[in-house]
Amino acid sequence: MTIVVEQLALGGEGRTVMVKDTIDIAGYPTRASSRALDNAPAASCHADVVQALLDSGCRITGKTSLHELAFGTTGLNAWVGTAENPRYPGRVPGGSSSGSAAAVAAGLADFSLGTDTGGSVRVPAACCGVFGLKPTFGRVSRAGVMPAQTSLDCVGPFAASIDLLIEAMEIIDPTFKALPIMDGVRIGVVPVQAEAEIQAALDSVLEASGFPLDVAPLPGMQAAYDAGLKIINRETWEGCGHLVETGLVGADVAARLLAARDTTDAELRDAEACRAVFSAEVDAALARCPILALPTMPSYPARVAEAADARAAIGMTAFVRPFNLSGHPAISVPFEGPSKLPVGLQLIAAKGADELLCAVARELVRRLEQ
């Protein structure tokens, strides 16, 4: 059960951090937990976020495992091994940033970094019972992060507490400002089809938080999900498709890549049109309520034994992928359902309002702890 694929000891004596192995660290290869990249050359320089960690005095203690090539939602990996879910043994750790979420859940690091193209920070955060943030698209530098070209992917932190998550953002995002005052914040609850226990748990959380609540429908969610999948398929094929020829890519990921190859230019144009429409829809909802709320996942994380088919598990991203398409910042806040299994509350804010998003998450947690 592999969480750490490379033990490191870089930097100062500050916060301990682990980094997903799609993020370059000078002197070490970036393998993305793929046998096809086993002989990859060492990175020649640090990714910008790694340099930011080192400049702040953090100590980088390891590179973490992931769903191979960051192209899957369960975190299962036959080559390096699947990261164990420390808080919910036997359940999938979520993907693709499985090792980064598990490292925080296991107490191996103060915080960790993952990447989120279609839910790959928020889903493992929800599965492992920790906080995970996808910043506004483009806000945190992706220089030195795999894949080099993307219109969806974001570097984001995991932490066991909201305060550590905020500290992580202050380190990796030089534009991150002091958290704002939350006068008059209303939360718009997005109606979705989630399992009854999930919905009941989060309804209870939102009611107990004391924030004024409105209903905020997003009728374009399903179309945005489908469009986001088309774009991630095309962009992942363009970035990683050549590796299929090695014969070393795992069967599940190779099959998804070969299917992704068939994404047409017409489908991509339609997806980009959907991006504009859905982004405007979310912006309009946020103009009425500055925070939107919905489950991170529609159900509890699957058991590892039942999650071998990555295509069957792709529905795990039903509520997260649309916000990669739109580019809005999103955070997953950990709770538990009646079955004592993990439930994530996903909060969404306007583009660039990452500070407000973190402030509301912190205040919500504070109120519930009183």
Angle CA 5–66–19, to nearest 5: 60
**Rounded Cα distance, 275 and 118, in Å:** 14
Of 65, 98, 100, 120, the catalytic one is 120
Q: Are 294 and 343 in contact (CB under 8 A)?
A: no
Element holding 321 (H helix, E strand) = helix 321-326
Is 134 a catalytic site residue?
no
Residue 254 corresponds to which tokens in the numbers above?
């190779």
User: Is 141 assigned a catalytic role?
Assistant: no
Catalytic residue among 96, 98, 100, 332: 96
Cα–Cα distances (Å) from 301 to 123, 176, 278, 343, 363, in that order, read: 9, 32, 27, 9, 27
Backbone angles phi, psi at 220, to 5 degrees: -90, 10
Angle at 328 between CA 167 and CA 291, to 5 degrees: 80
For residue 211, give the amino acid letter. Answer: F
Q: Is 20 among the residues known to form the active site?
A: yes
- What is the edge-to-edge ordering of all strands in the sheet holding 330-336? 4-11, 59-64, 16-20, 111-116, 154-159, 131-134, 330-336, 342-348, 291-295, 187-189, 213-215
| Per annotation, catalytic residue among 20, 63, 230, 351 | 20
Active site (catalytic) residues:
20, 96, 120
